[in-house]
Amino acid sequence: EAGVTQSPTHLIKTRGQQATLRCSPISGHTSVYWYQQALGLGLQFLLWYDEGEERNRGNFPPRFSGRQFPNYSSELNVNALELEDSALYLCASSLHRVMSYEQYFGPGTRLTVT
Amino acid sequence: RKEVEQDPGPFNVPEGATVAFNCTYSNSASQSFFWYRQDCRKEPKLLMSVYSSGNEDGRFTAQLNRASQYISLLIRDSKLSDSATYLCVVNVAGGFKTIFGAGTRLFVKA
């Protein structure tokens, strides 16, 4: 069974540009989570989607947004990129919106903003 | 105060040692608990869920103390391959939040 996949693996952008990151969950999983992990820091929760709707978001500005498609894949968009947005962006999926289910992570997209 | 706190370490232990990590959480509405491990520049991987009754998976034992609001992870007979960062994860009901601790680094040396 395929795991969570993310694309691209690496992304280099300049300040002020927009970045789009993509995630495909494990087959059968309906919930997708996005996290930011800056170098040497812990995971910071960004967004949670389930059944096509945004269920919760972390303490990030509105220029971080996303969506979930009918096939449960998801997209994270970061507008007006800033240098401090450079980080590893991790996507995770879980079986259902019920919070007791474990989350499984993709390999991440490493975003570098210059 | 952080919602989930872990000792950052690092813990430096010899092969074969037993090592224990603790994690405290502040939200009494926390509903489910997990330990993940993360290798350098890799994604976190689920190690085990933590149940009220405690659970064991080979050399790994996890415990939950709801009264004191902490969870623990015990690793027995440490292997070199156990070297990683161990993340404590808490899901909070109602607010539908998943909170990761900052992690505890473990180095197992020959």
pLDDT greater at residue B91 or residue B96: B91
**What pLDDT digit, counting tens, does each position of A10-56 carry?**
999 999 999 999 999 999 999 999 999 998 788 999 999 998 999 88
B92: closest chain A residue by CA: A99
pLDDT at A74: 98
Q: What is the structure's pLDDT at A98?
A: 65
Chain A residues whose C-beta sits inside 8 Å of any chain B C-beta: 33, 35, 41-43, 45, 48, 55-56, 88, 90, 97, 99-100, 102-108
Name which of A99, A100, A111 to mutate to probe chain B: the one with the most chain B Cβ atoms within 10 A of its Cβ: A99
- A84 is written with which tokens? 């401090």
pLDDT of residue B89: 93
CB–CB contact B34 A45 (8 Å): no
Answer whether A85's CB lies under 8 Å from A33's CB: no
pLDDT band at A97 (very low <50, low <70, confident <90, very high): low
Mutation target to probe the A interface, by most A beta carbons within 10 A, among B2, B41, B98 is B98
Query: How many contacts (CB atoms, under 8 Å) link A and B?
Result: 49
Look at residue B94 and tell me whether its pLDDT is greater than 60.
no
Inter-chain residue contact B43 with A55, CB threshold 8 Å = no
Highest-pLDDT range among A91-100, B40-49, B74-83: B74-83
Q: What is the pLDDT of residue A99?
A: 58
- Rounded CA-CA distance A56/B97 in Å is 7
Contact B98 A106 (CB under 8 A): no
Average pLDDT over residues A76-105: 89
Beta strands in A1-114, from DSSP E residues, in sequence order: 5-7, 10-13, 19-24, 31-37, 43-50, 53-57, 64-68, 74-78, 87-94, 104-105, 109-113
As a whole number, the mean pLDDT across chain A is 93
Q: With bands split at pLDDT 50, 70 and 90, how would you rate the model's confidence at B107?
A: very high
Mean per-residue pLDDT for B41-50? 93
